[in-house]
Amino acid sequence: MNRRSFLRHICIASAIAIPCNAFAAELIETDLQEEHGQFDLHVKDYISKMSHFDSAHPDDVVLKDEELELLKECTTRITRVMRTVGYGNFNLVSVDQAFTIGKQYSRVGAFSDKEKAFLEKIFYYDASVLGFYGDKPITAFTQTIKRKNVIKIRNSGHYVFRGHPFEVWKEIKSALSSDVILTSGVRGVVKQFHLFLMKASSNGGNLSLASRSLAPPGYSFHGISDFDVGQRKYGKSNFTSRFTETPVFSKLSKLGYLTLRYPRENLLGVRYEPWHVKVNL
């Protein structure tokens, strides 16, 4: 323990025992001011990152050399898995299933031991190091999603979980009819890997930048309950702040359905996602 920390602890104890001397009190006040200044800098840095979530920042975690190559190789191979099984089915593919598909189909190719180890490392990586502070609802690298536990939503290519998530979706659909669409539902670990690695790969291996838009594998609540909604015929704009200008967003807000997982000015290290519906289980 350094001297200032020691004096601070002494002064805390003095509330019960003896008062601090003036010199110690002065040191503690200076220490608190320094810490407050550092806190302000951290807050400013955080706000800057969230305001420019799609830009690189000096302290971002960026893969280099062999790991960058592995990132690109895994991204390409997982994309081949998606093209082989089809977009809708891909949402439910587990890691073990992806590895098996790689062995069975030459157009995919078997995942190498290095690729498997890389994916496992990414899954178990402490996301807070990247600047992502959300919870991790999926703790198993090999998590599987059983088809009996999900329902495919017609004309969407997506699934939602049975039970409360499906009930919430039905209520939203009933209230907004054809105006609202399901833009993303259930995502298995492999689907989340694909989204996250694609984002990182297209930004030079920047994992921190990717995590500001997409939860790292294991950290997405799409794997247990949540889903995304959008305005029909609004395309990619459904995944931007422009979604807040749509009739769907306005109606959902008025009806109280927009309990957001990542609200504006959240402290989880994730950009504002007004389209992401939080489903409490």
| Strand partners for 231 | 180
* Integer Cα distance of 253 and 247 in angstroms: 10
Q: In the prediction, which pLDDT does 53 show?
A: 86
Q: Which CATH class is domain 65-277?
A: alpha beta
Find, among 270, 168, 188, the residue nearest to 229 by Cα.
168
- List the domain boundaries for the chain: 3-51, 65-277
Kindly report the three-state secondary structure assignment for every residue of the chain: CCHHHHHHHHHHHCCCCCCCCHHHHHHHHHHHHHHHHHHHHHHHHHHHHHHCCCCCCCCCCECCHHHHHHHHHHHHHHHHHHHHHCHHHHCCCCHHHHHHHHHHCCCCCCCCHHHHHHHHHHHCCCHHHCCCCCCCCCCCCCCCCCHHHEEEECCCCEEEECCHHHHHHHHHHHHHHHHEEEEECCCCHHHHHHHHHHHHHCCCCEHHHHHCCCCCCCCCHHHCCCEEEEECCCHHHHHCHHHHHCHHHHHHHHHCCCCECCCCCCCCCCCCCCCEECCCC
HSE, side-chain direction, 13 A CA sphere, residue 1: 8
pLDDT tens for the chain, 281 residues long, are: 443 443 344 344 444 444 445 545 554 455 545 555 554 666 677 777 777 888 999 999 999 999 999 999 999 999 999 999 999 999 999 999 999 999 999 999 999 999 999 999 999 999 999 999 999 999 999 999 999 999 999 999 999 999 999 999 999 999 999 999 999 999 999 999 999 999 999 999 999 999 999 999 999 999 999 999 999 999 999 998 899 999 999 998 888 877 668 777 667 788 778 888 989 87
Structure tokens at 68: 């960058």
Joined tokens for residue 126: 């402490």
